[in-house]
Amino acid sequence: MSTSPPDRSLDLLAGRVFDIPEPQFVDLVRALEARRLKLDQRATADAVLSRLRPRMSMARPPRRPTPQRLFCLPFEDLLYDPGTDRKAVGRIPRSAIGPIWALFAEHASPGVIEGTSAALKTAEPDDTAAILAAGGPLWTEGARVLSARDAAARKSADGRTKLRDALGGEPVLASLEDVTILLRIAPPILELRAALPPAPIEGIGRQGIAALVQALKTVAALDRTAVPYVIFVLMARLRDLGILGDLFEKLTEAGAGELLRAAGEQAGEAVVSQSEDRLVDVRNELADEDLPKADIARALGREVEALDRSARAVGGGRAFARRIDRVKGELGRVAREHVVTGSVEATLEAIAGLDDPMATADQEMQNLRAAEDRIVALRLCGRFSGDPETAKEISAAMKKIGSGLDARGQQLIARLEKNDAEVSVVDLYNTVRLVELVDGPDKADKLRLAGMNAMKG
């Protein structure tokens, strides 16, 4: 409908990041990266970082890759720093690179790494085509060598234990298979990586969907068991797994439904496994923060929603559903620890504070906010808590707070009827507000009307 020329104002605005002096720019990026680690600041940091990205790529001129960096390129998206000593499905701990590269280097055909090194020396650092060409033989050889070591180790239980110990533990051994498969399907994965927007992805356009469908089909033709890895690469780039559902719908419409279904089980494993890891992050983030209880409840609710959305996207059977429920139950327990426990006492104390005759208006407002925060947090937790114990505790807490408010309401009416100079309409409205949050508007309005009548005498 719009016929006016496209507005470029925001682009111009983004261009101003180039005016920031280099040292301050580096500090700014570092500070934003640090903020990304905090639950409540991640979105802001991501939004600002996305605007800074053009400058960031200039601030870090392309480095000449080493053979080891080039080796990692096909599985670069999956690399992460886990908060646990286990490995999430669909991700590769960064600490696995060293041992796997060492294993490859030890068994690679003579000359392959040297040849890659020589090719990289002659290629310009920003000549993507030359660099990718240099990687071809390395990835093929990598897939061959690692696959052979893995197969050899599988021949006996002892062999597998030995390989695990040589690599440094179970997470690295589990990563070995991922690395092998991704090296085997390196060309379509690299094409896909080039076609997808950089992380964190919030949505994918038609071209991205077409690239995904192409990657799924090409990988299926090469090795059908490797199809889930296309989804893992996609998942690793998403800002939030919650958008997986929308993307799967679009991919199905674009003709990749059957391949998605075939990869569903492993994608589901990845969703659960990464969500379990996310739980650890959430616990760490909450331990460092002193947030309002309602904000914590909202953040946990969002985690549950994202989990539900991604779980719906990948489908899965009863066992999968049970694992999802277990993660949700665990989130419920986090809610119990951080929000529910102690909430009755804290709420009733804040409500009692409303009657303090020495309190200033600011202190009264603070008490009202504290009581509201606790009640709202409880109600929000009640909506998503998958843990029966937590649900029971929330229900009991709400009942106790409700009883406290009932008593306060009755006293208030009696005092208003007696024309007590120490109570006012403000006390009435504060109580009505809290009753509404606990028991809903009908009961609260009855109290309001009773209070108004009492004041009229």
Partner 1 sequence: MTEAANDSSGSESGHLSTRYWPATFEERGVVAPFTTPTLAFSRVRSDRDEALEILVPGMSGSTGIYVIAWPSVREMFRMSVHDRVLHEAIADAKATTPRAMRRCANQTAMTGLAGPDAIECSKAALEQEENERLLTNFYLINSVVDRLSSAPAKLTVAELSSPDGKRKVRQILDDIGRRIGASSEQIYASLEKWSDMIAPLGLPVMPHECRLRRLMKRLEAFRMNVDEWGRRSNADPDGMSFLTADVAKLTLDIGYPVIEEVDAYATDLSGSLASWRRTESAIGERVNRLSWLLDGWDHVLTIWDSVLESPIWEQVDAMEEIVRMLPLVPKKELERQAGDAWGDIENALRKFVKPMQSWQSGEVDIDLLLRVEQRRARAL
User: Where along the sequence are the contacts to partner 1 (CB under 8 A)?
Assistant: 1-4, 6-7, 9-10, 43-44, 46-47, 202-206, 208, 239-240, 242-243, 246, 294, 298, 301-302, 306, 309, 365, 368-369, 372, 376, 379-380, 383, 425-426, 429-430, 432-433, 436-437, 440-442, 444-445, 448
Cβ at position 221, least distance to partner 1 in Å: 27
CB of 359 to partner 1, least distance (A): 14
Instruction: Give min distance, CB of 360 to partner 1, in A.
Output: 14
Residue (43 or 133) nearer to partner 1, CB: 43
Q: Least Å distance between CB 403 and partner 1? A: 20
Determine the Cα–Cα distance for residues 389 and 387; give it in Å rounded to an integer.
6
Given the complex with partner 1, which of 222 and 426 has the nearer CB atom?
426
Residue 324: exposure state from Cβ atoms within 10 A (0-12, 13-18, ≥19) = buried
- Within 10 A of 125 (CB to CB), how many other CB atoms are there? 13
CA pair distance 290, 373, nearest whole angstrom: 13
Looking at the Cβ atoms of 10 and 358, the one nearer to partner 1 is 10
CB closer to partner 1, 192 vs 444: 444
Residue with Cβ nearer partner 1 (144 or 374): 374
Between 121 and 206, name the residue whose CB sits nearer to partner 1: 206
Euclidean distance between CA atoms 132 and 187, whole angstroms:
9
Q: Which is nearer to partner 1, 66 or 363 (CB)?
A: 363
How many CA within 13 A on the CB side of residue 430?
22
Looking at the Cβ atoms of 29 and 204, the one nearer to partner 1 is: 204
The distance of closest approach from Cβ of residue 7 to partner 1 in the complex, given in angstroms and rounded to an integer, is 5
Nearest approach, Cβ of 203 to partner 1 (angstroms)? Answer: 4
Report in angstroms how near the CB of residue 426 gets to partner 1 at its nearest: 7
Q: Which amino acid is at 6?
A: P
Please list, in sequence order, all residues whose beta carbon lies within 8 angstroms of the beta carbon of residue 240, skipping any fewer than 6 positions away: 200, 202, 306
- Rounded distance between C-alpha atoms, residue 167 and residue 146, angstroms: 12
Closest CA to 273 of 312, 233, 324: 324
Q: In the bound complex, what is the minimum distance in angstroms from residue 344's beta carbon to partner 1?
A: 18
Which 3 state secondary structure label does DSSP give 290? coil
Shorter beta-carbon distance to partner 1: residue 277 or 372 = 372
Residue 98 vs 255, nearer CB to partner 1: 255
Question: Least Å distance between CB 281 and partner 1?
Answer: 17
| Residue closer to partner 1, measured from CB, 112 or 213 | 213
> Whose CA is closest to 215, among 230, 205, 200?
230
Q: How far is the CB of 242 from partner 1 (least distance, A)?
A: 6
Other CB atoms within 10 Å distance of the CB of residue 452: 12
Q: How many CB atoms lie within 10 A of CB 398?
A: 20
Least distance between partner 1 and beta carbon 443 (Å):
10
3-state secondary structure 150-212: HHHHHCCHHHHHHHHHHHCCHHHHHHHHHHHHHHHCHHHHHHHHHHCCCCCECCCCHHHHHHH
DSSP 75-115: GGGGEE--SSSS--TT-EEGGGHHHHHHHHHHHSPTTHHHH
Of 97, 175, 95, 105, give the one whose Cα is nearest residue 145: 105
Amino acid at position 367, single letter = N
